[in-house]
Structure 1
Amino acid sequence: MEAIKAAGTYFVSYIQKTWLVNYAYKLHQTTHYASPGFLLTIACPILFALQGAVVNKSGVTVDSGVAHAVLWTVLVGIRFNIIKQWSLGEDRPFWWVSESPHFTWQRIPDLRQFPVTCLTSPAAPLFSLLAAGAGIVIVNAAVKLIKSIEFKNARQRRWIVIGTWLSFGVFVGSVAEAEMLFLTNFPHQVAISLAIGLSIGYVATRRSFSRVASIKKILLVNLVIMALCYLAMWRGEAIATFNDYQKLVFKWCQRREWMQIDPSPLLDSFLYTG
């Protein structure tokens, strides 16, 4: 694992020296659209408002289950991320490079920190997970809607579908790139979160969400996974080790004003309870 982390830091060091760093601010903006706050307070209400809306003269309507599927995906993704975060207690790159014995006889990679780098909790790429999970649900629904609309030219429909999937890929790639570029997560952690998010999103696209029943199911699933969150925190000794992460950040963050004090583990589990 140390070798994988070392390879990840060299990769991040490389991309920080490329043209991507010139677009760091724009990359950071993309993470806003994959944040729980945006998805729960803006995206989901819009999708709920669009349920059953007629989009053309042929009577094609927006799938009524999309909003519930996105809500289910976001809540499950958030809870699963907390479980992963506090059960594994993984390092973040900006402190690991200085604490790890791997670089005792090697030169530490030249890594740049940013104002969003210094997070005081274990690594867990939530934005990548939600971008992949909620994104694939929304794009899958959009593609179904496009395919149900009659076009004069079948090739036109095909290119619109391809463009939709490509846009999804660019968005998810930008979010993943941001989480690596800013030294908040290792590349392998981002890759795992993407896989988890896609898996949760895939399950959501295969479920049938009715209006009343799905809300009850979402609340039940939320409560069950919250219980698992507490179990993960207990197993990972979250309360006991929380201060250790803050000490690491205080020690290795380049500027004190960049430190972002995360909520305590118990408070963290109550965020976005639905």
Structure 2
Amino acid sequence: MLTLIFGPCTCVIKGRESAEFGRLSASSSARGCDIMDLLHSWGVELAVHLQTKYSQYEGLFGLASTVADLHTTFFFFFPIWFYLRRDTGLRLIWVAVLGDWLNLVLKWVLFGERPYWWVHETRFYGAGPSPSLQQFPITCETGPGSPSGHAMGAAGVWYVMVGLGMLMGLVELVVCMSRVYMAAHFPHQVIAGVITGVLVAEVVSKQTWIYSASMGKYSYMTLFLTSFAVCFYLLLKALGVDLLWTLEKAQRWCVKPEWVHLDSTPFASLLRNMGTLFGLGLGLHSPLYTKTKESTSTTFKMGCIFVSLFLLHLLDEWTFSSENLVTFYFLSFSKSAVALLIPTTLVPWALCWIFKRKREDKKL
């Protein structure tokens, strides 16, 4: 057995690999200890450090991951911003949807590992013990790890809401620490997510057509983004690339099977986002919305916000079985579409109708 030590990197080579080493250069012999091994090992060390030294902040880190999830953008941030500043609300959806779609494509290309399974499968530590990483209910993401979707989504969303500044930097720092603490991502993955998210938000924010897009454009974008992702998936599969390789790893290494959720798979995320975009288009071009968008009083807007948040909370309680994938994906798409119809059309129309009836009753 031959042990190689390259700074903090230790490789153990046995049998024929040891004999082979004599015929290889120093650079090629360290193939098992490449830069990605180092990045991953440093990331695991940082995760262990955070879990050990900052365990009292587990609640904060869990909250940060929840807030950074695009689910929070669709079910909480959007209804508020849609009535406070309509353009900001629309930009939130476009940035979130396009950013997460790009994140999906990048994940399929980059094949990023995740700490909670990498630490069990790597040969980096040789015969020595592997670091002990804690897992949490939100640890066991089933898609590839790079770039971080939470960091990328949060960067894009907060860039739209508050712009580049100290507040956004603080939020992103906590989100990135959270994803590393939860052993869901390595540090370089969250950094890549932040940079990509800001770039997406900057590019999308400069597109003025999104504020007046027709229903045809919403339908076209929904169809194009979905078709591109599906065709890209089929192409890579035809080339022998297994894009669902991470699901097996998640199921094998997650400490609790119930922590592995189908709704964290790439296709579930894709259809949720497409349902969101399509639902926004339906809401903005509904005859009901046309009748209510003239109502601009502060009382009416506050009422729409609070009622929308309440109804979205009820909608969020609706869950469905993942036993039948076709049904599951269809319901995911439909639920996301309804989540956008509620604040854009259904709630303002209902409140307008109620206020109109009250005015008529007073006249009588």
User: Is this a same-fold pair by TM over 0.5?
Assistant: yes
Aligned to 2:254: 253
Distance 1:41 1:119 in 2: 21
Task: State the SS of the aligned residue for 2:109.
Answer: helix
The structure-2 alpha-carbon separation of the partners of 1:122 and 1:220, relative to structure 1 and needing over 3 Å to count, comes to same
1:23-172 equivalence runs, <5 A = 23-51=57-85, 64-124=86-146, 125-140=148-163, 165-172=165-172
Shift of 1:135: 0.6
Task: State the SS of the aligned residue for 1:189.
Answer: helix
The structure-2 alpha-carbon separation of the partners of 1:186 and 1:219, relative to structure 1 and needing over 3 Å to count, comes to farther
Larger radius of gyration: 2
| Residue 29 of structure 2 corresponds to residue 7 of structure 1 | no
The structure-2 alpha-carbon separation of the partners of 1:104 and 1:262, relative to structure 1 and needing over 3 Å to count, comes to farther
Higher relative contact order (CA 8 A, sep 6+): 1
The structure-2 alpha-carbon separation of the partners of 1:211 and 1:266, relative to structure 1 and needing over 3 Å to count, comes to closer
Distance 2:264 2:159 in 1: 29
Task: State the SS of the aligned residue for 1:103.
Answer: coil
Aligned to 2:333: none
Shift of 1:94: 0.9
Task: State the SS of the aligned residue for 2:273.
Answer: coil
Shift of 1:258: 2.9
Q: What is the RMSD of the two structures over their aligned residues, measured on CA atoms?
A: 2.7
Structure 1 residues 79-88 or 176-185, which shifts more? 79-88
Identity of aligned residues (%): 23
Aligned to 1:224: 224
CA contact (8 A) 2:140 2:250 kept: yes
CA contact (8 A) 2:111 2:145 kept: yes
The structure-2 alpha-carbon separation of the partners of 1:28 and 1:272, relative to structure 1 and needing over 3 Å to count, comes to same
**Per-residue CA shift, 1:116-173, capped at 9, x if unaligned?**
2122222242111111011111113xxxxxxxxxxxxxxxxxxxxxxx9322211111
The structure-2 alpha-carbon separation of the partners of 1:11 and 1:241, relative to structure 1 and needing over 3 Å to count, comes to same
| Residue 198 of structure 2 corresponds to residue 198 of structure 1 | yes
Shift of 1:243: 5.8
Aligned to 2:175: 175
Task: For 1:246, give the aligned amino acid.
Answer: L
TM-score by length of 2: 0.58
Structure 1 residues 22-31 or 252-261, which shifts more? 252-261
Distance 1:116 1:210 in 2: 33
Distance 2:186 2:217 in 1: 34
Distance 1:109 1:215 in 2: 52
Distance 2:191 2:124 in 1: 22
Task: For 1:28, give the aligned amino acid.
Answer: G
The structure-2 alpha-carbon separation of the partners of 1:216 and 1:12, relative to structure 1 and needing over 3 Å to count, comes to farther
Task: For 2:154, give the aligned amino acid.
Answer: A
The structure-2 alpha-carbon separation of the partners of 1:256 and 1:65, relative to structure 1 and needing over 3 Å to count, comes to closer
Gaps of 5+ in 2: 1-35, 278-364
Shift of 1:179: 1.0
CA contact (8 A) 1:233 1:265 kept: no
CA contact (8 A) 1:94 1:184 kept: yes
CA contact (8 A) 1:76 1:221 kept: no
Aligned length: 238
Distance 1:123 1:268 in 2: 14
